[in-house]
Amino acid sequence: MKNKPIKRSKYMIFLSHDHHSGLLFCWKIKEGLKRGVDALRIKSYINFFWENHLSEHFQEEEVLLFNRLTDPLTRQAKQEHAMLTKRVKRMNHYEVENNEDFVIFAELMTKHIRFEERVLFPHLEKELPISTLETVGAYLEQQHHTPFKEDYPDKFWEEQ
C-alpha cells in the first residue's frame, strides 16, 4: 500500500514545503556520492544549504513551535536539531573528508524530517491552541511569501 500524502494544517504548510526542500537536499548529497563526486564539492553544497536555508529553518521551528511545549516529542526534535547542527560543524572542522559522514548526515536528516512530518507536526497541531497556530501561520506566511529557491551553481548530482 502506498503512503498517503500527509494533510498539513494551513498554519504549518510553509514548514512542510521547507521539508520537501530538505528531502531533496538529502537526495542530492546521496546522488553526488553515488556518482563519485569529490567530497569537497558536496561539503560546499551542504554549507550553502545550511547557511542559506537549514539553520534558519531549525531556528524558526524551535522558536515558533518547539519552545511552546515541554514534552518528549518537542525535546526529541530539539535534540535532533542540536545533533544535526553539531554534525555540520564537525564536517567543517576536519581536513580529511569522509564520505560516510555525508551519508550518515543525509540519512539522519531524512529521518528527522519524516519524524517531524509524521509524528511531531500532527502532535503540535493537536496540542497547541488554535490561536497559537494562527499566529505561527501568519508569521510564516509573511516570512515565506517568496519560497526558498535553491540557486546553487554546482549541479554535481546531475553529472554523468
pLDDT reported for residue 93: 80
Closest among 110, 88, 104 to 27, alpha carbons compared: 110
Domains of the chain, by residue range, sit at 13-144
HSE-CB of 120 using CA atoms within 13 angstroms = 28
Residue 149 CA to residue 160 CA, distance in Å, equals: 24
Counting beta carbons within 10 angstroms of the beta carbon of residue 50, is it exposed (0 to 12), middle (13 to 18) or buried (19 or more)? buried
Cell 494562527 -> residue: 134
Enter the pTM of the model.
Answer: 0.90
pLDDT reported for residue 9: 76
Query: pLDDT 10s per residue in the chain (160 long)?
Result: 456 556 667 888 889 889 999 999 999 999 999 999 998 999 999 999 999 999 999 999 999 999 999 999 999 999 999 999 999 998 888 755 668 889 999 999 999 999 999 999 999 999 999 999 999 999 999 888 777 788 899 999 997 7
pLDDT reported for residue 1: 46
